[in-house]
Amino acid sequence: MCLVLQANLVCSKVVSCIQSERQSLLQFKAGLFDRYGMLSSWTTTNCCQWKGIGCNKLTGHVIMLDLHGDYNYEQYSNDGNKFYISGEIHKSLMELQQLEYVNISKNNFKDIYIPGFFGSLRNLRYLDLSYCKFGGQIPTQFESLSHLKYLNLSWNDLDGEIPRQLGDLSNVQFLDLGNNLLEGSIPTQLGNLSNLQYLDLLGNSLKGKIPSQLGKLMNLQELYLGGYDDSDLTIDNGDHSG
């Protein structure tokens, strides 16, 4: 569509999505149970106009996937039917290599593990998987997300230890692993996150010494530590003389 404004020709162009990426999104949709029709717009030719999808206005690549749900705590705890979407996360998302923003928080992925292939989405800046009931361990493949600035995995059922590989997320500013089933010690490698401003490890079963390396995080503004038994965490004063 073109408009003539004060003798200047102004044209607006509707961005069209890349059809291979549209097919990848449809495969992803096929693995989901969409109780409330969140994905009802995912039928037209141009996936850039679908709800929850954002595209680069120049290239047409999908750069945003925002399908976050909405609920209160009681619904999260007691009624899985209140969640917008559930099911599995299809590996077809790997084809969306230009993704920068992914938010599928507040949905029901009970008994599903966080896919390791998220680590192949090298352009991710923002990843929110909170309040989803994900189980299993935090994928070590996240270490490849060198551009990531925001990572929220809170309020899931994640178990095992915090991967030391998270210390390789050199650009991360926000890291929330709170309210899971994580155990073991806090990795000293988290002290490498020089850009970190927010760190939440509350509500887990972490034990051992709080690494003195966390004291080197000069940009840190908010720090939340502790668990079901606060006595399980002690302060490491850096004295290892024996």
CB distance 185 to 204 below 8 Å: no
pLDDT digit string, tens, across residues 122-137: 999 999 999 999 999 9
Pick from 139, 30, 134, 154: nearest CA to 91? 30
For residue 228, the enclosing domain spans: 19-72+83-235
Residue 73 has pLDDT above 50, yes or no: no
Q: Is residue 36 domain-resident?
A: yes
pLDDT at 15: 81
Q: Is residue 13 domain-resident?
A: no
Residue 232 has pLDDT above 50, yes or no: yes
pLDDT digit string, tens, across residues 126-174: 999 999 999 999 999 999 999 999 999 999 999 999 999 999 999 999 9
Structure tokens at 184: 């073991």
pLDDT confidence tier of residue 220, bands split at 50, 70 and 90: very high
Q: Is residue 241 domain-resident?
A: no
| CATH code for the domain in which residue 120 is found | 3.80.10.10
pLDDT confidence tier of residue 17, bands split at 50, 70 and 90: very high
Who wins on pLDDT, 74 or 85?
85
Residue 9 has pLDDT above 50, yes or no: no
pLDDT at 70: 78
Q: Is residue 242 domain-resident?
A: no
Q: Is residue 214 domain-resident?
A: yes
pLDDT digit string, tens, across residues 179-202: 999 999 999 999 999 999 999 999
Residue 239 has pLDDT above 60, yes or no: no
Q: Is residue 155 domain-resident?
A: yes
Q: Is residue 182 domain-resident?
A: yes
pLDDT digit string, tens, across residues 21-31: 999 999 999 99
How many structural domains are present in the chain?
Answer: 1
Q: Is residue 11 domain-resident?
A: no
CB distance 142 to 124 below 8 Å: no
Q: What is the pTM of this model?
A: 0.88
pLDDT confidence tier of residue 242, bands split at 50, 70 and 90: very low
Residue 3 has pLDDT above 50, yes or no: no
Torsion of CA 177, 182, 185, 191, to 10 degrees: -20
